């Protein structure tokens, strides 16, 4: 398990205006209530923000930032965090059935990493003043989304490999540029996440390779999984550039660095030789090398399926979100107990009582008589 991401307060302010505003966010909102004088200072702050973006500097939690920039980041980080924790489900589906102890250990560690990524990302979102509880509530009530790819089922063991190779592969292609995202905490979280994801991608590849080179049944299992996961993986890059709602502005803010179609092409170009190395076929008769473009051409994507899954009609939308809600509801009494216990511990008139717990724990284990 990797250590938790620590969000360190960063005193470096963006530009002179932000430095003059002192403590960033809170100070700004106070100033904004003060009329005409403020309009000038807000313009200065915006200018400082813009020049920091232009100079490829990082924006930090205490720096001034436009509301829409903040909202866009929260939306994107939340969706990413939600994808990590919903994404645990299709893979956890195979932990109890992993066919060797080595594979069981690898899969458990991978699912654990995803929980860790969820934690980093919720923590990064917290630096923008949005709590994990608030974001989870939005997920559970359907007001925030997670990646549609996790609305597809894991039907065989090979799907675990296909998710690692293709889904994590696509995620890395999407996410590596975010390591250079203009918002510091998000960029730093992504550096760690991408390292772990690339490990997962290699493990997925290796799992599929073992199947592909295994028995006839194992090879067929691997091919079937790739057949089912290939097109949904290409959809992970989002709609084509001319239909993408948020792309242009996010690119201007350097939250996003490459367009959906650029990244999709990059992913296809990476996968074609890897599929060959695996001895598996990508399910697209139109795949062909284009000498002129120096890229692989590929067939049309079924965007109607993408829209349907996005709208909730995918094979597992209902199951994924119900299971998440159920876990949250069933865990409520545990969280309440932890909070109640912490509150009791914090109460000063606690009666000390020796519980026989080891010395180091005594302070914490001291509890009042009921």
Partner 1 sequence: MTRSDARAPYGAGPLDSPLLPLADDALVLSHRLGEWAGHAPVLEEELALANIALDLLGHARALYSELGDEDELAYLREERAFRNCQLVEQANGDFARTMIRQLFFSAYQELLYTQLAALGHPLATKAVKECEYHRDHAEHWTLRLGDGTEESHARAQRATDSLWRFTGELFLPLGPGGPGGTPELDGPDLVGAVDWDALRRSWTDRVTGVLDAATLTVPTTEQHGAWAAGAGRQGLHTEPFGRMLAEMQHLHRSHPGASW
Q: Which is nearer to partner 1, 137 or 364 (CB)?
A: 364
Binding residues for partner 1 restricted to 106-125, rule: CB under 8 A: 108-109, 111-112, 115-116, 118-119, 122
- What letter does residue 293 receive in the DSSP assignment? T
Interface with partner 1, residue 215, by CB under 8 A:
yes
User: Is position 103 an interface residue for partner 1 (rule: CB under 8 A)?
Assistant: yes
Burial of 243 (0-12, 13-18, 19+ CB in 10 A): exposed
Residue pair 222/156 in contact (Cβ under 8 Å)? The answer is: no
Q: Pairing mode, if any, of strands 288-290 and 295-297? A: antiparallel
Instruction: Give 55 or 351: the residue with its C-beta nearer to partner 1.
Output: 351
Q: Which is nearer to partner 1, 23 or 97 (CB)?
A: 97
Of 170-178, 197-205, 207-215, 290-298: span binding partner 1 (CB under 8 A): 207-215
> Using the rule CB under 8 A, is 258 a contact of partner 1?
no
Binder among 214, 240, 273, 315 for partner 1 (CB under 8 A): 214
- What are φ and ψ of residue 23, in 5° steps? -85, 45
Q: Which is nearer to partner 1, 75 or 104 (CB)?
A: 104
Query: Nearer Cβ to partner 1, position 6 or 100?
Result: 100
> Least distance (Å) from partner 1 to the CB of residue 69?
27
Distance CA 312, CA 23 (A): 42
Long-range contacts from 48-56, C-beta under 8 angstroms, 24+ separation: 48/14, 48/15, 48/16, 48/17, 48/18, 49/14, 49/15, 49/18, 51/14, 51/15, 52/14, 52/15, 52/182, 53/182, 53/253, 53/254, 56/180, 56/182, 56/254
- Residues 108 and 97: their CA atoms lie apart, in Å, by 11
Instruction: Please list, residue by residue across 32-67, b when 16 or more beta carbons sit within 10 angstroms of its beta carbon and e when fewer do.
Output: eeeeeeeeebbebbeebbeebbeeebbbbbbbbbee
104 is an interface residue for partner 1 by CB under 8 A: yes
- Residue 2 near residue 196 (C-beta atoms within 8 A): yes
| Residue 346 found at the interface with partner 1 (CB under 8 A) | no
Kindly state the number of chain residues that form the binding site for partner 1, as judged by CB under 8 A.
64
Nearer to partner 1, 18 or 119 (CB): 119
Nearest-approach distance from CB 316 to partner 1, in angstroms: 13
State the minimum distance, in angstroms, from the CB of residue 336 to partner 1: 5
Residues that bind partner 1 (CB under 8 A): 1, 85, 88-89, 92, 95-105, 108-109, 111-112, 115-116, 118-119, 122, 132, 157, 207, 210-211, 214-215, 217-218, 323, 326-327, 330-342, 344, 353-357, 361, 364-370
């Amino acid at each position: 398990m990797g250590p938790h991401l620590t969000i360190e307060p960063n005193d470096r302010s963006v530009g002179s205006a932000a430095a003059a505003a002192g403590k960033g966010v809170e100070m700004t909102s106070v100033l904004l209530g003060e009329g005409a004088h403020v309009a000038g200072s807000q313009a200065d702050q915006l200018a400082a923000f813009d020049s920091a973006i232009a100079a490829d500097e990082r924006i930090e939690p205490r720096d001034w930032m436009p509301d829409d920039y903040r909202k866009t980041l929260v939306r994107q980080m939340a969706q990413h965090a939600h994808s990590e924790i919903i994404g645990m489900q299709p893979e956890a589906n195979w932990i109890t059935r992993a066919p060797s102890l080595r594979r069981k250990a690898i899969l458990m560690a991978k699912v654990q990493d995803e929980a860790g990524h969820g934690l980093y990302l919720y923590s990064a979102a917290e630096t923008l003043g949005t709590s994990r509880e608030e974001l989870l509530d939005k997920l559970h009530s359907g007001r925030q989304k997670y990646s549609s790819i996790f609305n597809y089922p894991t039907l065989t063991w090979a799907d675990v490999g296909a998710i690692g190779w293709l889904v994590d592969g696509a995620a890395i292609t999407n996410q590596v540029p975010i390591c250079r995202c203009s918002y510091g905490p998000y960029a730093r979280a992504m550096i760690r996440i991408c390292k772990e994801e690339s490990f997962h991608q290699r493990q997925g590849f290796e799992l599929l390779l073992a199947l592909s080179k295994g028995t006839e049944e194992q090879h067929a299992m691997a091919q079937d999984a790739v057949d089912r996961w290939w097109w949904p993986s290409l959809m992970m890059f989002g709609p084509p550039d001319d239909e993408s709602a948020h792309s242009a502005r996010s690119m201007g803010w350097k939250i996003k660095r490459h367009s959906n179609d650029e990244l999709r092409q990059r992913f296809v170009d990476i996968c074609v030789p890897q599929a060959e190395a695996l001895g598996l076929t990508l399910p697209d008769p139109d795949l062909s090398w284009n000498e002129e473009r120096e890229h692989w051409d590929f067939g049309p994507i079924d965007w109607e399926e993408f829209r349907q899954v996005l709208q909730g009609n995918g094979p597992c939308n209902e199951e994924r979100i119900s299971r998440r809600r159920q876990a949250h509801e069933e865990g409520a009494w545990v969280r309440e107990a932890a909070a109640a216990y912490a509150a009791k511990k914090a109460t000063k008139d606690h009666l000390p009582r020796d519980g026989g717990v080891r010395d180091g724990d005594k302070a914490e284990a001291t509890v009042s008589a009921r």
